[in-house]
Chain A
């Protein structure tokens, strides 16, 4: 293998190129990124960057020197526009062609938008800086979507003195992700601070004055942030021959076609640990999956299934939420430590007859690390969620 192309220069793509070099690959290594920046970190965008606690120079995942050491053919500020799997060739927007022996797709996701102009989204550095310039004390920010991203942005805006209204289509924010009880407890953190939370409302469009709801009501706003989920960046793969369906469809080795792997937010793969296909938009997964894809691409005779325990965290107000496992589609939630109302607790999740996840708020790390081990081991669900010794 002498020519490897990695499309996507964020966390997953960076992990892939670093792993390829670390594993001894010495051929041409091309890293393509549609943003003009060196690889940077996204979780701080809705946290430290939005809050002006960090300047952007703290976002770079590696120094320019570290990247030079990798000996990359770095193509930044140019997007990939086409893939020919049979001909093993990637086409870029500037007209160049990249023939490859091995390919890793790490093109991530983009924010879902609403009809109408003028709303903010939070995905890129520019997007975060633009919103932060507009967040002044007394200004009214309407956040559409009370998921993790929307909740984090609302918390920061509140701290900066903005008036904040969260609009959420579900009856309980995050219920689909963490369950109704936990979702309700987390959402109380908004209400405690005077952040308005309206659930069960649909936003149909962004208007000049704010947003329009399904019943026609206008909610006025100085700024609107739309945080209603993401769409995998797979449009450019149309006609490539790859299977695409809410992400690039891969097997348990992260392979989408012979010599073509995917990693990060864009990859939908079969996770044998949970026995299901999943696509994970978590920062830690991007790095782990980029590494795994690189290793499997380089070592076709010693491939390993990618079977991680997903992990994410979220900072909202004074709360740090941490979760391990695959919580979606769970059958039962049990508080196994701490106090739900005090927002210091560990909740365990059951799917079928086994422990599938755990979520902690304000608890010491060891409290949740044991649950991670239970998830790795596929431990059976004991009485009230306690793992049998």
Chain B
């Protein structure tokens, strides 16, 4: 198994799940600044979840996004 495949397998096994309450979002875009691989914004600025189960190497960025979200609209459920 190549290193890339091993990485993918690890991503697939990531049990952590991101939950986004879009109706609480205030369109600050802080989540995109913190974790650009996991979040984007629509044209009104409302956050969009790109990866419900982010790769393990992105989890620290997601934790940062959870912490800086000014609307407390993001949760990271880790098992």
Contact = CB atoms under 8 A, between A and B. Distances in A.
Interface of A: 15, 18-19, 22, 41, 43, 58, 61-62, 283-284, 287-288, 291, 311, 313, 320, 322, 364-366, 369, 372
Contacts of A15: 67
B65 to A, nearest CB: 11
A125 to B, nearest CB: 15
B68 A284 contact: yes
Contact of A287 (B27, B44, B70): B70
Contacts of A369: 29, 32
Interface string B30-41: 101100000001
B66 to A, nearest CB: 9
Interface of B: 24, 26-30, 32-33, 41, 43-45, 63-64, 67-72
A372 B45 CA distance: 15
Contact of B71 (A19, A41, A291, A365): A41
Residue from the set B29, B45, B70 with the largest chain A CB neighbour count within 10 Å: B70
Contacts of A287: 67-70
B19 to A, nearest CB: 12
A19 B67 contact: yes
Given A61-B72, A284-B28, A313-B28, A291 B33 contact: no
A372 B33 contact: yes
Nearest to B75: A66
15 contacts: A22-B63, A41-B71, A43-B71, A58-B24, A62-B72, A283-B70, A287-B69, A291-B64, A311-B28, A311-B30, A320-B45, A322-B27, A322-B28, A365-B27, A365-B41
Nearest to A61: B72
Contacts, number: 49
B23 to A, nearest CB: 10
Nearest to A372: B33
A288 B31 CA distance: 12
A182 B43 CA distance: 23
A149 to B, nearest CB: 16
A324 B25 CA distance: 18
Contacts of A41: 71-72
Contacts of A311: 28, 30
A108 to B, nearest CB: 15
A322 B26 CA distance: 10
A364 B27 CA distance: 10
Given A62-B72, A364-B45, A365-B41, A18 B32 contact: no
